[in-house]
Amino acid sequence: MKKKFLALLLSASLAAVMMTGCGNNNEPEATTSTEESVSVEESKESDAAAEELPAAAVHLTFDGDDEGYKALVQTEDVGDNDGANYGLAETDVTFQFSTGPVGNAIYLDGSYGLDLGLKATNTDTYTVSFWVNADRLSTYGPTLQMGYNMGKAENAGNDVTWLNVTQNEFGDNSAKIFPIVWSRNEASDAADGIDCWPWMYSFDNEIHGKREWTMVTIVCTGEVQNSPVGSTTVGAQFYVDGVMTYDSQDNYANSTYFEYTWDATLAPNIMQPGSSEFESLFGINYWDTIFKGFVDDLYIYDTALTPGQITSLYQLGDPNVESIAPEGSAEVEEEAAAQVVTTIDDSAIAIVGTPNCDNAFWTSFSDAYELKDGGSLEIHFNNYGSGLSNWENYLVVFTNTATTADLVPSAENYDGYMEYGVVRSDSFGWAFPNDAPVFMEGSWEWDNFISIMMDADVTLTISRSGSDIAIDGAIIDADGNEYTYKVESDTTAASGDPMYVVLSGEKCYIEILSVK
């Protein structure tokens, strides 16, 4: 998987070097705008007068009638979804309902999600809205996710295009925020291959919709927004409980909310005809923790609703209704906490991350180690993963610049900085010519990968021949079990070009013991 961060905004320059990868888990860099962002309260469209609503292209009431949606579970067989962690398979369940803001609402017990069976509107002006009341949210976990080729690895033959309404840790001090719209469209890439990976939310520090009803509304107004790095996004508005909390086109033109960065918006073509069948899912996807909770009244319009029409839509529901989970599924669940490392090794020559495993993506690094053409490096270290997600472990960065641990590797900090590629501990990666490295072989027990990496003794032998790199990994878990893997890839480096290796990671603690 691939994905990640943004604290207030995504940095365009870091997006340029870091965003080229992942079916779902690439991770934007957390940065702070040079302008103080406007608070949600200050940015509200106050009391927009109700206006008549047009006919909806789609309306799922979830009142209990047969509306065509089906139950899906995650499976180990990913099929031809080569960018996925899980396959999806239809399953038989008895759907459960309770009182919702509008009539009844469906309750998802956390073991399955929904294939909504929706059709694309074939336009870049549209509105998507739904009510949600979560018992369980997870970072990157889906509520509504829809698009084309969602489980595919991105390459020239797959236009990977989707949006996901999710939770992430973009708030102050990595506070969790919901809802956030994370979207992407490889078809809108710049000529140099930079992916379009925009994010949009209320830029607050709040979780809306956790054991309370909230209405999430995304309006795509469709104006073209050309970025400084060549990618193209579209104008969009974000509403929470009928109130507009962010307008990307206003910000693009006027910097109304903060100094503009191109990627605080929406990817284009989400609803346009794609190269494969349009997928529309709720509560489940190919990579992440399944949603648990209620959803009610989902609408899709093939027009961009006005603030007054959003007011009318909100007024159809009652956010104060008490919804009771069906008997046997009402237990309250909280997200598990990352492990705290107490077995500190004083002999380490360098560390990456924090013992609390709370370091955000692209915030902690080793010094760069030179990898000569025809040569190799052996790096021995302890990896303590969070215990929560497979990507929350070490990653290996191949760059052209001798960076240092005290300064974020980026074109902003190092003149001429670029990456030849990035490989995560689970063998996913990005920024290579073919985007992902090639997993050659391994003795992993993939079902136990997260627990293995919670306390792993790792030795990486990293070698280079011209433009090609290879990583041979040897891992010993806390019980003494041994595992190996190998990944290879070509890069854009020419023979003789400088190449350096940097260790980084997310929500993990790394103790570097030796570098040879």
**Tokens standing for 149?**
């080729």
Report d(CA 189, CA 363) in Å as an integer. Answer: 26
In this structure, are residues 71 and 91 in contact, taking their beta carbons and an 8 Å threshold? Answer: yes
Q: If DSSP states are collapsed to H, E and C, what string results for 99-124?
A: ECCCCEEEEECCCCEEECCCCCCCCC
Examine the pLDDT at 174 and tell me if it is beyond 90.
Answer: no
Mean pLDDT across 10-32: 33
Q: How confident is the model at residue 27 (pLDDT cuts 50, 70, 90)?
A: very low
End-to-end CA distance of the chain: 30
Q: Can you give the CATH number for the domain in which 426 is found?
A: 2.60.120
Is there a domain that residue 329 lies in?
A: no
Whether residue 305 is contained in a domain is answered as: yes
Q: How far is CA 184 from CA 97, 187, 268, 287, 400, in A?
A: 33, 9, 8, 16, 27
Q: Which residue has the higher pLDDT, 39 or 203?
A: 203
**Domain presence at residue 43:** yes
User: Are residues 305 and 383 located together in one domain of the fold?
Assistant: no
pLDDT value at 44 more than 60: no
Q: What is the pLDDT of residue 41?
A: 40
Q: Tell me, yes or no, whether 172 and 217 share the same domain.
A: yes
User: Average per-residue pLDDT in the chain?
Assistant: 85
* Percentage of the chain modeled with pLDDT above 70: 85
Q: Residue 339: inside a domain, yes or no?
A: no
Q: Give the Å distances, CA to CA, from 111 to 4, 73, 291, 338.
A: 25, 7, 8, 22
Residue 19 is assigned to a structural domain of this protein: no
Q: Do 280 and 384 share a domain, yes or no? A: no
8 Å CB contact between 270 and 146: yes
Full-model pTM: 0.70
pLDDT on residue 386: 93
In this structure, is residue 437 part of a structural domain? yes
Instruction: Please choose, from the candidates 505, 502, 511, 510, the residue with its C-alpha nearest in 3D space to the C-alpha of residue 369.
Output: 502
Instruction: Check whether residue 311 and residue 386 sit in a common domain.
Output: no
Residue 216, token pair as written in the block: 């999430």
Q: Are residues 45 and 186 in the same domain?
A: yes
pLDDT digit string, tens, across residues 315-371: 999 999 999 888 755 454 556 788 999 999 999 999 999 999 989 889 999 999 999
Q: Does 37 have pLDDT greater than 50? A: no
**121 pLDDT above the threshold of 60:** yes
Asked if residue 11 has pLDDT above 70, the reply is: no
Which residues are bridge partners to 71 per DSSP? Answer: 91, 114
CA distance 179 to 196: 20
Per residue in 350-366, pLDDT tens?
999 999 998 988 999 99
Q: What pLDDT is attached to residue 306? A: 96
Closest CA to 5 of 22, 23, 26: 26
Give Cβ neighbours of residue 252 (< 8 Å, ≥ 6 apart): 223, 225, 235, 260, 262, 265
- Kindly state whether residues 365 and 437 are assigned to the same domain: yes
Whether 118 shows a pLDDT value over 70: the answer reads yes
What DSSP element (H or E) covers 17?
helix 12-18
Q: Which of 10-19, 72-81, 177-186 has the lowest mean pLDDT?
A: 10-19
Please check whether residues 304 and 357 belong to one and the same domain. Answer: no
Last residue of a domain, one of 315, 330, 360: 315
**Domain membership of residue 247 as a residue range:** 37-315
Residues 238 and 386 both lie in one domain = no
| Sheet containing 376-385: order of strands | 350-353, 508-515, 376-385, 456-465, 468-476, 482-490, 438-442
The answer to whether the beta carbons of residues 24 and 86 sit under 8 Å apart is no
pLDDT in tens, 194-246: 567 888 999 888 999 999 999 999 999 999 888 776 778 889 999 999 999 99
Domain membership flag for residue 368: yes
User: Which range has the worst mean pLDDT, 21-30, 46-55, 252-261, 415-424?
Assistant: 21-30
- What per-residue confidence (pLDDT) applies to 333? 54
Residue 410 pLDDT > 80: yes
Cα separation of 66 and 374, whole Å?
Answer: 63
User: Do 225 and 91 have their domain in common?
Assistant: yes
For 279-311, the pLDDT digits (tens) are 999 999 999 889 999 999 999 999 999 999 999
Q: Are 196 and 185 in contact (CB under 8 A)?
A: yes
Tell whether 293 and 245 lie within a shared domain: yes
Residue 334, number of CB atoms within 10 A of its CB:
9
- SS3 for 309? helix
Mean pLDDT of 422-443: 84
Identify the domain boundary among 315, 335, 367: 315
Q: How buried is 467 (Cβ within 10 angstroms: 0-12 exposed, 13-18 middle, 19+ buried)? A: middle
Distances from the Cα of 23 to the Cα of 1, 231, 290, 326, 328, angstroms: 6, 18, 17, 34, 35
DSSP state of 493: P
The domain total for the chain is 2
SS (H, E, C) 429-481: EECECCECCEEEEECCCHHHHHHHHHHEEEEEEEEEECCEEEEEEEEECCCCC
Binned at pLDDT 50, 70 and 90, residue 10 comes out as very low
* Same-domain pairing of 157 and 302: yes
Angstrom distance (rounded) from CA 213 to CA 367: 47
- Mean pLDDT of the 389-415 span: 94
CATH number at residue 246: 2.60.120.200
Closest CA to 267 of 150, 155, 172: 150
- Taking the C-alpha atoms of residue 318 and residue 234, their distance in angstroms, rounded to an integer, is 32
Check if the beta carbon of residue 452 is closer than 8 Å to that of residue 472.
no
395 & 509 share domain: yes
130 falls within a domain:
yes
Give me the pLDDT at residue 155, please: 67
Q: What percent of the chain has pLDDT over 90?
A: 59
